[in-house]
Amino acid sequence: MGLKENLSYWDFSLKNEEPIEDNYYVFDEIIIDNPSFIKQVENLRELIVKFCNSSKTGNDENILDEVYNILNNTENIQHHEFIAFWKVLGTTYSTYESFKEEKKRGRLKELLIKYCQMRLKMYNNLNYSNITIQALYDKGASRRTGIVANKKIIDLLATHFENICEVRSLDEFEDNDISFFRLEKKTGKVIFDDFFKKVPINRPISEKSFNITIKIKDQIFLIKTKHMKEAGGSQNSKIVELINFIEQSEESNNIHYVTFIDGIFFNRFGNKFITGKAKSQKKLIEKTLNQHKNNFFVNTNGLNLIFKDLK
């Protein structure tokens, strides 16, 4: 069939809302049923008690080594109550991981001493539960949405086309009718560099600017994804970033910048009684789409329709 005007996909998205619950974003992964992981969790608790007792006599270096090894070699250990406590002292697990070994060990010792002073007695009195570990893991579920959004897009693509190909080189990207590469993968970053050396663009673009690139026959879609559920200050700044993304345009009519939002945040744009910030954002999206006819701002149903029309 071929692509329609970009505003028609925007209108279709407004009329076809995002569901309250999307199965793609249900992260029901249980980590506390893994016996080897729980053994390390309990080992860490025992070592912390030993450290707190031995630190009074200065005989704590061997225990510090054992704690250090558990933290370095145990997947998901960042969800332990000891590491959750670090934020009280202005340290995060990712910050700790960025340190070199000597600094890591020094900071770990400081954190253990503070934990002994501020939490150990209270936690011992309350007794420990591994439910805490699972709850902390569940709390971080939203951080995994970017990769899931890419999977959702690929699944939508596969409902309309056979033989879609995730490529490992620019040659493969160009040679296959339906191909894509993901920027979260190392191969995707290499293709990204090769692609923008070959394809002239109007302004510099970084590999963090978008999430996935899809080629359908002679049409190329640079897609920026965002899963959004709640309104608020941080979400408003993200909307500005997403609108800015579709303000880009190229000489070739075959290159399209696409903002793809899933999640119920998108539904506010389709509300008849829209007011305030959302109303201003909607007007700006429509103005930008009018000015950049090759670009798109869509939800799940709008993106699905684009793929359908290109079949």
What's the per-residue H, E or C state across the chain? Answer: CCCCCHHHHHHHHHHCCCCCCCHHHCCCCCCCCCHHHHHHHHHHHHHHHHHHHHCCCCCCHHHHHHHHHHHHHCCCHHHCHHHHHHHHHCCCHHHHHHCCHHHHHHHHHHHHHHHHHHCHHHHHHHCCCCHHHHHHHHHCHHHHHHHHHHHHHHHHHHCCCCCCEECCCHHHHHHCCEEEEECCCHHHHHHHHHHHHHCCCCCCCCCCCCCEEEEECCEEEEEEEEECCCCCHHHHHHHHHHHHHCCCCCCCCCEEEEEEEECHHHHHHHCCCCCHHHHHHHHHHHHHHHHCCCCEEECHHHHHHHHHHCC
Q: What is the pLDDT of residue 254?
A: 92
pLDDT tens per residue, range 180-228: 998 877 778 788 888 877 776 665 555 557 789 999 999 999 999 998 8
pLDDT tens per residue, range 280-292: 999 999 999 999 9
Mean pLDDT split into 10-residue runs, the chain, 311 residues: 94 96 87 96 96 79 95 95 96 93 95 96 93 91 74 96 92 94 80 79 61 94 90 75 90 92 94 92 96 97 97 90
pLDDT tens per residue, range 245-268: 999 888 889 999 999 999 999 999
Q: What is the pLDDT of residue 214?
A: 96
